[in-house]
């Protein structure tokens, strides 16, 4: 059944979009430290852009400190600059070849800002999914018009795509809800 190919492709691409959303959500800062907050920040080092995770080991010192053990002291200024430019609002403190990032408690205003950022990211994700859906539906319609798909296959595909979108939207809402709770409880 040719429609299964469209559905499989759509499912795989939606899964990638959802995984990207989850990665973005993890990067949204709360007062609990996580290596994911800084590991993918790009740093100008060695004539290229590299993520911090390729330049330092990242560890957590409870309750609220991220420690970067930089392997080459010469890149410390570049790492400090990249962190300062990021939207985390953190200032690294240098201690030998260590950089310490203290995560202060979030103010109510900052919590509201983070929730707005989260909502914007979720909406952008939904837009990407809708655009993908539109592309796949055009392809399905084209195949139907070229008699490569039956009418039943076309309607079946559309129905399955709608079901998948509904399921993914619920999952996105659940991820957002958990992150909002995490933000509000920090």
Q: Could you please report the per-residue DSSP string of 8-57?
A: HHHHHHHHHHHHHHHHHHHHS--SS--GGGTTT-EEEETTEEEEGGGTEE
Say yes or no: 83 and 134 in one domain.
no
pLDDT in tens, the chain (186 residues): 466 787 888 999 999 999 999 988 887 877 677 888 888 889 998 999 999 999 999 999 887 889 999 999 999 999 999 988 887 778 888 988 899 988 877 788 888 988 998 999 999 999 999 999 999 999 989 988 988 888 898 899 999 999 999 999 999 999 999 999 988 887
pLDDT at 37: 83
Q: What is the CATH number of the domain that holds 19?
A: 1.10.132.20
Beta strand 42-45 pairing with 48-51: antiparallel
pLDDT for 85 equals 85
Same domain, 66 and 128: no
Among 60, 75, 102, the domain-final residue is 102
Quote the CA–CA distance of 150 and 163 in Å, as a whole number.
Answer: 20
What pTM does this model have?
A: 0.73
Q: Report the number of distinct structural domains present in the chain.
A: 2
Query: Which structural domain, as residue segments, surrounds residue 59?
Result: 35-102
């Amino acid at each position: 059944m040719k429609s299964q190919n469209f559905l499989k492709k759509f499912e795989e691409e939606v899964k990638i979009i959802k995984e990207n959303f989850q990665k973005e959500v993890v990067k949204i800062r709360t007062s609990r430290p996580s290596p994911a907050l800084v590991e993918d920040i790009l740093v100008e080092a060695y004539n290229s852009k590299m993520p911090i995770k390729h330049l330092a080991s990242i560890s957590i010192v409870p309750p609220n400190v991220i420690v970067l053990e930089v392997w080459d002291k010469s890149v410390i200024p570049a790492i400090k600059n990249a962190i300062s430019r990021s939207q985390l609002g953190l200032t690294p403190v240098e201690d030998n070849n260590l950089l310490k990032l203290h995560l202060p408690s979030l103010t109510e205003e900052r919590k509201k800002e983070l929730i707005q950022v989260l909502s914007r990211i979720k909406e952008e994700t939904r837009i990407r999914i809708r655009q993908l859906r539109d592309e796949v539906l055009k392809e399905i319609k084209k195949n139907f018009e070229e008699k490569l798909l039956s009418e039943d296959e076309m309607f079946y595909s559309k129905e399955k795509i709608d079901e998948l979108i509904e399921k993914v939207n619920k999952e996105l809402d659940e991820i957002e809800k958990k992150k909002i709770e995490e933000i509000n409880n920090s």
